[in-house]
Structure 1
Amino acid sequence: MCGHEIIIAMAVLDPNVLNPFVLVSPAVAPALAVAITAISVSLSLMISRYFFKSYTFSGFGYLLGLPVGFAFLGASFLFELSSLMYRADPLLYPAFFWIQMSLQSEALALIALSYYYKSSDASESGKRVRARDVLVTTLPLVMVAIPFLVPTFSLASQPYFNYAGLADLSFYMRIFNMAVIGYIFKSTIASLVRAANIKLLYVPAAFALLWLEQYSLVLAYFDNSAIAFIGSAAARMAGLALFAYIMHSVTSRRKMEIEARKAA
């Protein structure tokens, strides 16, 4: 067995697996990773583009976190692929993994921040902001800071990329991601109730699939299950595809309304 194959075998047997793609057979892992990453990045950037158009069209500041968040999410998938491609490098492999975890959590926090301010704008419109509301306003900022501060603290305390420490960090960050997505899910359900539009049901469904992705990765953390990882990848792509479909439908309908107004 050559040295490269030994490294791959060690990665598969390592209980502190960082990149879950190593749980898949080495013969198919690279091709599978490229395919999943290409689909995930394309969908994320497509969603980001749709949201950026909505932001420029409406001018609502709280919408800016959505295109930036999905762009960060797409970037995190690229770093996930990079960590797999450099899994034999003792420095780049954990470094890319660290960046991936930070970007992904930051992306979800930015998306949640947009939904938070959207809900606040709807519920607090016309009300005077009181002093006790300042604390509530700072909480989302803390949520956005956590994905940067926690990994940075972990890196500062263990500057040599301890694999066990990074694996544990991934577990905690995914729990954080699940909590953030849970908040987004709750916010989208509230928007669905206010709008009384059954078509908006697809939005919480998309985030439910992204939550399922994180949950499956938590399961893979405990038992190194390739099935759990494949399930997480399927849930991710399904969630992003559903979200892209929603944004495409909304954008197309808006264009038709604008054209109808011009024609009138």
Structure 2
Amino acid sequence: MALDPNVLNPFVLFSQQSPALALAAVVAVTAASAALAVSGSRRFFNSYRFSGFGYLLGLPAGFMFLAASFAFELASFAYLDYPVLHPALFWIQLLLQSEAFALIAVSYYFKDSGKEGGAHSRRRVRPRDVGMVLLPLAMVAIPFMLPTSELASKPYFNYASLADFSLYMRIFNMVVLGYIFKSAIFSLAKAGSARMLYVPAAFALLWLEQYSLVMTYFDNSAVAFAGSLVARIGGLALFAYAMHHAVARRKKEGIGEIEAGKAA
């Protein structure tokens, strides 16, 4: 049987070889991914409670959205034969994942721009100041507005259109993750904390996951999709290790929690 070129959930590629393998893979990968994302969210929420810095709230919220997107990924595979539920769950997965990365990016944005806020607080409003407000709003709004407009224009979830739309959302994710990687590198360079290079490396792997999914879109390659799963698990595991390392180091130094921004 020929494979539908408009594949939404790429785990279907595994089912061509073995349905049992596909089911085992989707359960194992999504469970591990969600667990690692929830762990990161909990760590960052503890950091927010300890520091009180508002910009940190985007990090636990982003990782919780990411965990939820993995749950919907599993659900969309479970309802593969349902012509309405399958694309609807895939649509929700796209929305949640892009919003997750956007929230994390906004946290980095406010972390970087907050250090300059005091120097300009008494000056007149400049175009750059307006941009500093509009850019994070756009990053948060786009992952909601684009999927919503897609649903409004094609309420019956045309598979070909939704598959094409997933490409645009993944390109958006790559742009946002590129910004996060750059911000994380600059933040660590300013802090002189080479030991926390695990963090930008983790985001680089998540960027590689999105790139591999783009490649999967073009040729339905099970190898490219498998690479995206390895990159995802590797990125989330590396992030969990970095957070664990930061917490252990802070406790050893008697601080008790991650100092705001040092592990981000």
Same fold (TM over 0.5): yes
Matches within 5 A, 1:64-103: 64-103=57-96
What's 2:141 paired with? 145
Partner SS, residue 27 of structure 1 = helix
Matched, 1:50 2:43: yes
Whole-Å separation in 2 of the counterparts to 1:92 and 1:193: 46
Whole-Å separation in 2 of the counterparts to 1:125 and 1:248: 33
Matched, 1:18 2:8: yes
TM-score (norm 1): 0.92
What's 2:162 paired with? 166
Matched, 1:198 2:194: yes
Distance verdict in 2 for CA 1:178–1:259, change over 3 Å: closer
Identity %: 64
Deviations 1:16-75 (A, max 9, x none): 100000011323101110000111000000000000000000000000000000000000
Matched, 1:117 2:107: no
What's 2:153 paired with? 157
RMSD: 1.3
Counterpart amino acid of 2:88?
A
Which structure 1 residue ranges, 4+ long, deviate > 3 Å from structure 2?
123-126
Partner SS, residue 126 of structure 1 = helix
How far did residue 193 of structure 1 move? 1.1
Deviations 1:199-254 (A, max 9, x none): 12111100000000000000000000000000000000000000001111111222
What's 1:178 paired with? 174
Whole-Å separation in 1 of the counterparts to 2:238 and 2:118: 31
Structure 2 residue corresponding to 1:106, chosen from 83, 99, 103: 99
Runs of 5+ unmatched residues, structure 1: 1-8
Structure 2 residue corresponding to 1:40, chosen from 33, 37, 43: 33
Deviations 1:153-191 (A, max 9, x none): 000100001000100110000000000000001101110
How far did residue 134 of structure 1 move? 1.5
Whole-Å separation in 2 of the counterparts to 1:246 and 1:188: 13
Counterpart amino acid of 1:250?
A
Runs of 5+ unmatched residues, structure 2: 257-264
- Number of residue-to-residue matches in the alignment: 250
TM-score (norm 2): 0.92
How far did residue 124 of structure 1 move? 3.4
